[in-house]
Amino acid sequence: MKDWKKFAIAALVRALRTFCQAFLSYIGVGALISEVEWLHALSAAAVAAVLSILTSIATGLPEVEANE
């Protein structure tokens, strides 16, 4: 059970980082903050986070495997 918990925490941390990166890159594309479509930015970042979790499940996480 501990291995599953470590994996879940590592996958969520990675997904959060991916969410932030995608969100900030979407905002960076906009010319002005007032022109940013916030809903689109959040949607794109959420999709990136979900894909990150799915990738972690499919391929594993090197940081969890190294600690075993």
Residue 66: is its pLDDT beyond 70?
no
Domain ranges of the chain: 2-61
Give the model confidence (pLDDT) of 6-29 as tens digits: 889 999 999 999 999 999 988 876
Tokens 């949607």 belong to which residue?
Answer: 43
Q: What is the mean pLDDT of residues 52-57?
A: 94
Alpha-carbon Rg of the chain, whole angstroms? 15
Give the model confidence (pLDDT) of 29-46 as tens digits: 656 777 788 899 999 999
Q: What is the mean pLDDT of residues 55-64?
A: 86
Question: Residue 30 has what pLDDT?
Answer: 57
